[in-house]
Amino acid sequence: MLSATARPYIEASVPVLREHGVAITKHFYASMLGAHPELKNLFNMGNQANGAQQQSLAAAVFAYAANIDQAAALAPVIERIVHKHASVGIKPAHYPIVGRHLLGAIQAILGSAATPELIAAWDEAYWLLAGELIAQEARLYQRTGVEAGEMLALKVTKIVQESDDVLSFYLQTLDGKSPGDFKAGQYVSVAMQVGPLRQLRQYSLSDAQQRPWWRISVKRERATTEYPAGQVSNLLHEKVCVGDVLQVSPAFGDFAPRLEQDAPLVLISGGIGITPMMSVLNTLLLKDALRPVLFIHAAQNSAHHALRADLATAQQKHANLRCVTVYEKPLACDVRGEDYHASGYLNLADILQESDLAGEFYLCGPVPFMQAQWQALLGKGVSASHIHREVFGPELLNYLA
């Protein structure tokens, strides 16, 4: 618990953090990665370049200060960070380095406003949060049966083209077995050498947990006129062949739909957000469950609709599965009623039936897509506690602000 001495300083710094949060974390990363270039192997330098990670740490620090007395609000935030940290192998020894540079950055940006009392209060608050993260990360490593940072050497045993931009990679141990247990919805970190750096990216496991392989399905992030091509996804597409061995973390992630319930399961995905949903659907099918499932997917058109073969198999096998596919811009060859059911943007109001509203809702896709569906569900009277989401990037946590 935060001391009575530190509390007023932390409370007073919430508006200051709101104003300077991003500048503080930018300064923090620049000074830390300057002093410890080896940490560039841990951080996602794509997120560093596009600013997402700076916003995320700022958001976490701010959310912590703003919700210091509300353990319930902080618990899911901490859980997500713990799983992400475990997937990249964060160790207790990293925390003093981050703490030193974070406090140094607060001091540098706030200047004379960073009094010794304010810095002491933040030192205390940082270590409260760090202590919680270290303890939970230790428990997670222990439960998973791995050392922090331990990677599995997995052989690529099959590669399947799923759509114009998506390849599935089937991964097995070197002696041809499943790499291990996971919960449908979880992800792994994949390590690739990008020039002088090792870079890690997360990929949701996209097939059932009962299979003798892990499967990841990777969308190639092509260059646009504004942005450079994604580093790791393009390397995976261009350089990785069947027989290659990849360094992959064990499975982590707090997005793991509960499969054993009876309530309808509503899986809503956009684009490559289909991957964790397909893992859930395939896992459920192999459990022989009769639970009603509504699988809603939005894609640009059939050329960008990944994992269609899985969906077709599921439709044949699952008696209680309803699938609705929405294509934003169908191709001339796309057949309405067969390839897709509606065109344009997904409109949940047209799809959801009264019986669906008692369900558990899971969302994954681009952030604006998820925001739109989140609002649509609230508008239909679904309680936020029944809506769960996975973000394919650092969670910006602005819902806590």
Q: Which residues bind ligand HEM (CB under 6 A)?
A: 39, 42-44, 47, 53, 56-57, 60-61, 80-81, 84-85, 88, 90, 94-95, 98, 126, 129-130, 133, 394-395
Nearer to ligand HEM, 64 or 340 (CB): 64
Question: Which residue's entry shows tokens 């958001």?
Answer: 59
How much of the chain is in helix, strand and coil states, percent to nearest 5? 45, 20, 35
Nearer to ligand HEM, 204 or 325 (CB): 204
Question: Which residue's entry shows tokens 């990293």?
Answer: 94
Instruction: In angstroms, give the least distance from the CB of 348 to ligand HEM.
Output: 25
Choosing among ligand FAD, ligand HEM, none, which partner's interface includes residue 311 (Cβ < 5 to 8 Å by kind)? none
Instruction: In angstroms, give the least distance from the CB of 182 to ligand FAD.
Output: 13
- Nearest-Å Rg of the Cα atoms of the chain is 22
**Which residue is closest to ligand HEM by CB?**
44
Choosing among ligand HEM, ligand FAD, none, which partner's interface includes residue 392 (Cβ < 5 to 8 Å by kind)? ligand FAD
Nearer to ligand FAD, 86 or 125 (CB): 86
Q: Is 170 a catalytic residue?
A: no
Query: With the C-alpha atoms ordered 375, 83, 94, 133, is the resulting torsion angle positive or negative?
Result: positive
Question: Which residue's entry shows tokens 């990249």?
Answer: 88
Of the residues 9, 29, 95, 327, only one is catalytic, namely 95
Choosing among ligand HEM, ligand FAD, none, which partner's interface includes residue 98 (Cβ < 5 to 8 Å by kind)? ligand HEM
Nearest to 214 by CA among 291, 117, 279, 260: 279
Integer angstrom CA distances of residue 11 from 72, 78, 205, 396: 18, 20, 41, 21
Instruction: In angstroms, give the least distance from the CB of 283 to ligand HEM.
Output: 23
Who contacts 98 (Cβ-Cβ below 8 Å, separation ≥6)?
A: 32, 130
Nearer to ligand HEM, 70 or 343 (CB): 70
Instruction: In angstroms, give the least distance from the CB of 151 to ligand HEM.
Output: 14
Phi and psi angles of residue 103, each rounded to the nearest 5 degrees, phi first: -65, -40
Residue 251: DSSP 8-state: P
Instruction: In angstroms, give the least distance from the CB of 345 to ligand FAD.
Output: 22
Q: Give dist(CA 305, CA 141) in Å, integer.
A: 36
Choosing among ligand HEM, ligand FAD, none, which partner's interface includes residue 218 (Cβ < 5 to 8 Å by kind)? ligand FAD
Choosing among ligand FAD, ligand HEM, none, which partner's interface includes residue 133 (Cβ < 5 to 8 Å by kind)? ligand HEM
Instruction: In angstroms, give the least distance from the CB of 219 to ligand FAD.
Output: 4
DSSP string, 136-184: HHHHHHHHHT--TT--EEEEEEEEEE-SSSEEEEEEE-TTS-------T
Q: Give dist(CA 330, CA 382) in Å, integer.
A: 30
From start to end of 221-341, where are the E strands? 245-248, 265-270, 293-299, 321-327
Of the residues 64, 126, 137, 221, only one is catalytic, namely 137
By CB under 6 A, name the binding residues for ligand FAD. 44, 46, 49-50, 187, 201-204, 217-219, 221, 227-228, 230-234, 272, 275, 392-393
β-partners of residue 189 are: 202
Choosing among ligand FAD, ligand HEM, none, which partner's interface includes residue 203 (Cβ < 5 to 8 Å by kind)? ligand FAD
Nearer to ligand FAD, 49 or 358 (CB): 49
Are 255 and 388 in contact, with CB atoms under 8 Å apart? yes
Instruction: In angstroms, give the least distance from the CB of 394 to ligand HEM.
Output: 4
Nearer to ligand HEM, 22 or 98 (CB): 98
Q: Is 137 a catalytic residue?
A: yes
Nearer to ligand HEM, 44 or 302 (CB): 44
What is the length of the chain? 401
- Token readout for 375 is 């609002």
β-partners of residue 121 are: none
Q: Which secondary structure element, helix H or strand E, spans residue 190, and what is its range?
A: strand 187-194
Choosing among ligand HEM, ligand FAD, none, which partner's interface includes residue 43 (Cβ < 5 to 8 Å by kind)? ligand HEM
Active site members = 95, 137
